[in-house]
Amino acid sequence: MAYLAGIDVGTSSLKTIIMDEKGIIRASAAKEYQYDSPADGYCEQNIDVWWDACVQCLRQVTQKVNPAEIAGIGFSGQMHGGVFLDDQFRMVRSCDSALGYTQR
């Protein structure tokens, strides 16, 4: 049987589902996290937090289905979040979150 995975990176949590070809959800997982507010008016998130949550959720849902049977992955992310990477694809700075604005 083929499965589809859905991953949603939100401001306060990452959610993952696995569904079968009929649209029946066979597994789900979520991992909550916090955002940083280093000063009044700032909201930022370290993208490594998202990655760690994604890995944890995928490990959890793939215990319930055979990962080799996942035929596709859909991914959505929070809106208005700038993620800046260097030429080695490493984070340059934390992501400015949709929760607030940066005064820099």
Name the percent of the chain lying above pLDDT 70: 88
Residue-wise pLDDT tens digits, 73-82: 999 986 666 7
Residue 32: what pLDDT? 96
Distance CA 9, CA 90 (A): 18
Beta strand spans in 38-77 (E): 44-45, 70-77
Model pTM score: 0.78
CB under 8 Å to 1, separation ≥6 — which residues?
20, 21, 69
Above 60 in pLDDT, residue 69?
A: yes
More confident call, 82 vs 103: 82
